[in-house]
Amino acid sequence: MIDFRFTNDQVELQNKTRKFAQEYMIPYAHYYDKSGEFPLPIIQKCWEEGLMNLSIPKEYGGPELGSIEQCIVVEEMAAGCAGMTTSIYVNSLGVEPILLAGTDEQKEKYLRPLIEELKFVSFACSEPGMGSDVAGIQTRVKKDGSNYVLNGSKFWITNAPHADYFTVFASFDPSKRHKALCAFIVDADTPGVKIGRPVEKMGHRASTTSSIMFRDVKVPEENILGDEGKGFGIAMQTFAMTRPSIAAFATGLARAAMEYARNYVNKREVFTEKLREFEVIQFKLAEMFMKIEASRALYLKAAWTADNAGDATIPASVAKAFATDVAMETASEALQIHGGYGYIDQYPLEKLFRDAKLYQIYEGTSEVQRLILGRHVLDRYEPAMEKLPKWYNKKPPDF
């Protein structure tokens, strides 16, 4: 029998994170959204509370929490502020290639310091000319004695100006696409690494997004992750492990939008009646609630698969595609319920609307998730019926 209840430890973690979001994120979300400043004091407090770097194994000082626990945390945080949550969570994305393919020495050198003090790591995969097409990476690498030399540019890199190191994907020969990709750990202070000016974004303004330029950057051979030519697989495994969390991000934002709408209709009066009494409003809230519940079920299935059953690519893509669309739809409907008040920054709905859009774009667009799923259905899906019956009008025999 399937048990949908959280364990006592999971409930405790959920309550702790919810309290953190309500005390340290929601009160300051508007300020950081308007200023665009990096929310370092909030992130420092989050690190002190033990709510960062959740996937790092115990042998390196971390809590070694599973994907389900990480999803529980990010849903609560994203309900508080999407941008802050992106800045906090990106460490988990950055270290995932090390967890998947790193040596014991690499893990000791690069994971333990994240637990001992507040440090940042960024995931450097996207480029000016490619995002979801990981096989199309143009950043080049060549072997030079005991070093690898990197040349190229990365774009859309979260926390790049604050990172202590990066996990970087590069190609020996871009014409060979996925067969030539490699992954590396690159220290931010390595000569030849240059961080671009942060870009102004529509939403998630409490996270810093910049470009990175690599100009003849020498990376010691002990910093390669896995074998040469195995970088594509590392990237895909990374996304399979982290996409459930993006679905949880979206679920948290959608839940917040629904709760703001619920609060508003309980107070607002129109035509001498509370807005809550109108059937059209009740239907809108019901639709939000149903889809949020479905989103949570999908991300929990994907997270469970990541923790227990190996390859979570398909359930992660299902959860990511569905939950991010739900977040965008729910934010829009909640804004609509608020009317003109939803359109001004004195209420949080316009921020939620702006923030929701990014979930449909980063870590694989909604279209890419559907491409993955469409190919799965056509090429790898195993039909429940071995042979589909012929469809015609046939009288049954006497059984």
Q: Which residues form the catalytic set?
A: 363
* Cβ atoms 71, 299 nearer than 8 A: yes
- Considering Cα of 330, then 257, then 86, then 111, what sign does the dihedral take? negative
* Cβ atoms 74, 19 nearer than 8 A: no
CA 369 to centroid of chain Cα atoms: 13
Rounded distance between C-alpha atoms, residue 32 and residue 80, angstroms = 12
Query: Which residues, in sequence order, are CB contacts of 104 under 8 Å at separation 6+?
Result: none
**DSSP string of 60-89?**
GTS----HHHHHHHHHHHHHH-HHHHHHHH
Rounded distance between C-alpha atoms, residue 83 and residue 298, angstroms = 23
Question: For residue 129, which phi and psi values (nearest 5 degrees)?
Answer: -105, 0
Rounded distance between C-alpha atoms, residue 223 and residue 133, angstroms = 24
Altogether, the residues listed in the chain come to a count of 399
Rounded distance between C-alpha atoms, residue 123 and residue 339, angstroms = 39
Question: For residue 26, which phi and psi values (nearest 5 degrees)?
Answer: -60, -45
CA–CA distance from 44 to each of 73, 88, 249 (Å)? 16, 10, 20
